[in-house]
Amino acid sequence: HHYPSQLSGGEQQRVAIARAFATRPLLLFADEPTGSLDQATGGRISDLIFQLRSESGAALLLVTHDASLAARCDRRLLLQHGRLERAA
């Protein structure tokens, strides 16, 4: 057993994701879910998010600066200086 402060960043993210999906949401909002993680851990976290989203059928609104993570999304909106620049 560990206190939350004793968990690694990746472990904390997995707990947060599990907590979010436990309520069976219709919409999940993820703000920079991999931003503070190393590349390998970030990859595992993003895989988990997309797997659980697929299994649950929940809509996912994901905010990221990571182009490769954004590329995994079905639709993308690019905001620059508070304005919508592009929708794909």
Domain coordinates in residue numbering, the chain: 4-87
pLDDT of amino acid 72: 95
Segment 7-26, tens digit of pLDDT:
888 888 888 888 888 999 99
Q: How sure is the predictor about 77, in pLDDT bands with cuts at 50, 70 and 90?
A: very high
Top CATH class of 4-87 equals alpha beta
pTM assigned to the model: 0.79
44 neighbors 13 (Cβ within 8 angstroms): no
- Asked if the model's pLDDT at residue 64 lies above 90, the reply is yes
In whole angstroms, what is the distance from residue 29 CA to residue 4 CA? 22
Predicted pLDDT at 13: 86
* Distance set, CA 88 to CA 17, 25, 59, 79 (Å): 26, 25, 17, 12
